[in-house]
Amino acid sequence: ETGVTQSPTHLIKTRGQQVTLRCSSQSGHNTVSWYQQALGQGPQFIFQYYREEENGRGNFPPRFSGLQFPNYSSELNVNALELDDSALYLCASSFSKGWFTGELFFGEGSRLTVL
C-alpha cells in the first residue's frame, strides 16, 4: 500500500507567477484535500475533491484552483502568486462516500517560497 506522495518538495517562485503542485493519493482512496500551513500555524483547509469534483472549499480566493484525475491523483494551482502564499502545502487523501468519514492521510508537503 503506497502512501500519499507530493511533488515538488521545495520550490521558489516570484510574485505574480503561477505554480502547480501535485499529489498522488494513497491506494484505494477516492477523496483528496489540500491544506495550506503557514509558518507557526495549523493547516488551513483550501478545498476537497471527491470523484473528480470539488465538493468543499475553504476561505481561499479563486486564484487557488485544483483538479482531481480519474486515478485520484490531484493538482493544486495557484495563479498570481503573492508573498503571503509562502507556506507548506499539504495534500491529504481518504476514502469517503461523499463527505468526511474518517482520518486523513497526509503527504510530506510542498514548501513554496514566494519572493
Contact yes or no for 112/14 (Cβ under 8 A): no
Nearer Cβ to another protein, position 54 or 80?
54
- Binding residue for another protein, selected from 30, 56, 65, 75, defined by CB under 8 A: 56
Binding mask 82-101 for another protein (x = CB under 8 A): --------x-x------xx-
- Alpha-carbon distance of 31 to 89, in angstroms, equals 17
- Determine, following the binding rule CB under 8 A, whether residue 74 of this chain makes contact with another protein: no
Q: Are strands 74-78 and 87-94 parallel, antiparallel or unpaired?
A: unpaired
User: HSE (CB half, 13 Å, CA atoms) of 80?
Assistant: 5
First to last CA, the chain: 38
Footprint on residues 16-35 left by another protein (CB under 8 A): 33, 35
Contact yes or no for 111/9 (Cβ under 8 A): yes
- Determine, following the binding rule CB under 8 A, whether residue 60 of this chain makes contact with another protein: no
- Determine, following the binding rule CB under 8 A, whether residue 108 of this chain makes contact with another protein: yes
- Which residues of this protein are in contact with another protein, per CB under 8 A? 4, 6, 33, 35, 40-45, 48, 56, 58, 90, 92, 99-100, 102-109, 111
